[in-house]
Structure 1
Amino acid sequence: MRILIADDEQDMLRILTAYFQKEGYEVFTAGNGEEALAVFYREKIDLAILDWMMPKLSGLEVCREIKERSDKKVLILTAKSEEEDELKALRIGADEFIRKPFHPKILVLRAKKLLGDEKGQRYKTIRIDMEGSKIYKNGTDLQVTKTEFELMCCFIRHKGHILTRHQLLDLVWGLDYFGDERTVDTHVRRLREKVGGDLIKTHRGLGYSVEASDE
Structure 2
Amino acid sequence: MNLLLADDEPLMLQILNAYFTKEGFRTHLAEDGEAALDHFYNHKIDMAVLDWMMPKRSGIEVCQEIKRNSRTKVMLLTAKGDADDEFAALKSGADDYLRKPFDPRILLLRVQKLLQLEARVLLGELTVDLDARKIYRAGKDVSATHKEFELMRYLIVNRGQIVSRKTLLDHVWGFDYFGEERTVDTHIRRLREKIGDRWIRTYRGMGYCLEESQ
TM-score normalised according to structure 1 size:
0.83
Q: Deviations over 1:61-93 (max 9, x none)?
A: 111222223332110111223333222211222
Deviates more, 1:23-32 or 1:79-88: 79-88
The alignment of Structure 1 onto Structure 2 pairs a total of residues equal to: 212
Deviation, 1:23, is: 1.6
Q: Return the offset for 1:109.
A: 0.8
Q: Kindly indicate whether the alpha-carbon contact (under 8 Å) linking 1:24 and 1:157 is maintained by their aligned counterparts in 2.
A: yes
Gap change, CA 1:124 and 1:88, over 3 Å in 2 = same
Structure 2: 5+ residue stretches without partners: none
Report if aligned partners of 2:162, 2:203 keep a CA contact under 8 Å in 1. no
Provide the aligned C-alpha RMSD in A: 2.6
Deviation, 1:185, is 5.0
**2:74 equivalent in structure 1:** 74
- 1:151-209 deviation digits (Å, cap 9, x = unpaired): 10212333441421x3223212444x4463465455434423322356445567x5741
- CA distance in structure 2 between the aligned counterparts of 1:69 and 1:96, rounded to whole angstroms: 18
| Structure 2 SS opposite 1:210 | strand
The equivalent residue for 1:214 is 213
Tell me which amino acid in the other structure corresponds to 1:152: M
Gaps of 5+ in 1: none
State the identity %: 50
Q: Distance in 2 between matches of 1:207 and 1:40?
A: 24
Between stretches 186-195 and 62-71, larger displacement belongs to 186-195
Post-superposition CA distance 1:84-124 (Å, at most 9, x none)? 32222112221111122222222111100011112333345
Partner amino acid, structure 1, of 2:139: G
1:55 matched residue in structure 2: 55
Quick one: distance in 2 between partners of 1:16 and 1:35? 17
Cα distance in 1, alignment partners of residues 96 and 143 from structure 2: 35
- 3-state SS of the aligned residue for 2:27? strand
Q: Does 1:132 align with 2:129?
A: no
**Normalization by structure 2: what TM-score?**
0.83
* Residue in structure 1 matched with residue 164 of structure 2 by the alignment: 163
Distance 1:15 1:207 in 2: 30
How many Å separate the matches in 2 of 1:103 and 1:145?
30
**1:8 maps to what in 2?**
8
- The 3-state SS of whatever aligns with 2:132 is coil
| 3-state DSSP of counterpart to 1:113 | helix
Q: 1:144 to 1:37 in 2, by over 3 A?
A: same
1:192-207 equivalences under 5 Å are 192-197=192-197, 199-201=199-201, 206=205
Letter in 2 for 1:209: Y
Secondary structure of the residue that 1:128 maps to in structure 2? Answer: strand
| SS class of match (1:29) | strand
